[in-house]
């Protein structure tokens, strides 16, 4: 099942996509996709509702992020060997973690405001997982039973802040709008093998990234279990699992986002995103 959220920022409503591709408003049945509502058993109940009895979502509705808020928004660095190579870095021997600020969460098609000071803003198409069941010190074999589902993420990154400002990568990862997540929260039954998904990103129509989750160094189940040994993951937490080659930093010459640029990205089965880069308001 594909779930999503629609409406203006901060007042989105939960919905599902019926088998005819029509959005159906779930707000009479669930407040929002947070807490216990993200438990796989609860999502299964919602998926079993008769969509004909649910109001249709307007076609022109804005799509919000798949969850209203995220506690831990964890990124995984250099998780594709070929992306590590284009970054001029060795493949890591164990996963690299960083934090994306929870306030970076955005809708999949929201305009991206490029901060005035940001000169090296870059794109990263990624497979993200949304936690549905608390996870602390879990095993790899148990890991996928703790997710609510999968979502497409653009791990937008300001490279100068990330790399040239010293300390952690988090400085370049958490600006407002740097975490578009969606359009859909896709439950595991629709993604039988998360390590066999094509992923792509275009800039102004030109292919920049064209990869597959098959080339991840650390697969999704291993990442969830690994992160759970450093923090207790809660429902609504998000782990975004790294990007394949083709980022702007890895190109010759390097290419970074400017006003008017349009990013479009997608992953098999998870839908697509489109962000237009604009000047900051005020």
Which residues contribute to the site for Zn ion (CB under 5 A)?
124, 155, 243
How far apart are the C-alpha atoms of 231 and 182, rounded to whole Å? 24
Tokens of 158: 């300001």
* Residue 220 CA from chain centroid, whole number: 13
If the CB atoms of residues 124 and 234 are measured against Zn ion, the closer one turns out to be 124
If the CB atoms of residues 32 and 124 are measured against Zn ion, the closer one turns out to be 124
Residue keyed to tokens 């000071």: 117
Q: Across-strand partners of 265?
A: 201, 273
If the CB atoms of residues 37 and 216 are measured against Zn ion, the closer one turns out to be 216
Cβ at position 124, least distance to Zn ion in Å: 4
CB 259 within 8 A of CB 115: no
Cβ at position 101, least distance to Zn ion in Å: 14
- Letter string b/e over residues 75-96, b meaning 16 or more CB atoms within 10 A of that residue's CB: bbbbbbeebbebbeeeeeeebb
If the CB atoms of residues 209 and 243 are measured against Zn ion, the closer one turns out to be 243
How far apart are the C-alpha atoms of 250 and 240, rounded to whole Å? 20
Cβ at position 154, least distance to Zn ion in Å: 9
Cβ at position 65, least distance to Zn ion in Å: 17
Task: Give the CB-nearest residue to Zn ion.
Answer: 155
Cβ at position 155, least distance to Zn ion in Å: 3
- Is the bond preceding 11 in cis, omega lying within 30 degrees of 0? no
If the CB atoms of residues 66 and 247 are measured against Zn ion, the closer one turns out to be 247
How far apart are the C-alpha atoms of 138 and 39, rounded to whole Å? 16
If the CB atoms of residues 91 and 279 are measured against Zn ion, the closer one turns out to be 91
Cβ at position 107, least distance to Zn ion in Å: 19
């Amino acid at each position: 099942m594909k779930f999503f959220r629609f409406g203006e920022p901060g007042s989105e409503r939960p919905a599902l996509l019926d088998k005819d591709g029509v959005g159906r408003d779930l707000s009479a049945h669930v407040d929002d996709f947070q807490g216990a509502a993200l438990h796989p058993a609860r999502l299964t109940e919602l998926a079993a509702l008769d969509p004909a009895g649910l109001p249709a979502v307007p076609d022109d509705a804005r799509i919000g992020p798949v969850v209203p808020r995220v506690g831990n928004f964890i990124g995984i660095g250099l998780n594709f060997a070929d992306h590590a190579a284009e970054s001029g870095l060795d493949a890591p021997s164990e996963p690299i973690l960083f934090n994306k600020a929870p306030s970076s969460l955005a809708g999949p098609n929201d305009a991206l405001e490029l901060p005035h000071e940001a000169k090296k803003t870059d794109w990263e198409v990624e497979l993200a997982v949304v936690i549905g069941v608390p996870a602390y010190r879990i095993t790899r074999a148990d890991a996928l039973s703790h997710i609510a589902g999968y979502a497409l993420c653009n791990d937008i990154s300001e490279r100068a802040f990330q790399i040239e400002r010293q300390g952690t990568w988090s400085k370049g990862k958490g600006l407002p709008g740097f975490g578009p997540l969606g359009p859909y929260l896709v439950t595991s039954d629709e993604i039988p093998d998360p390590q066999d998904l094509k992923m792509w990103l275009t800039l102004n129509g030109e292919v920049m990234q064209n990869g597959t989750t098959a080339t991840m160094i650390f697969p999704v189940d291993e990442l969830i279990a690994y992160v759970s040994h450093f923090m207790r993951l809660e429902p609504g937490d998000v782990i975004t699992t790294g990007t394949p080659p083709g980022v702007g930093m890895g190109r010759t010459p390097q290419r970074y986002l400017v006003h008017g640029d349009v990013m479009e990205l997608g992953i098999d089965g998870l839908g697509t995103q489109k962000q237009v880069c604009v000047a900051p308001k005020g």
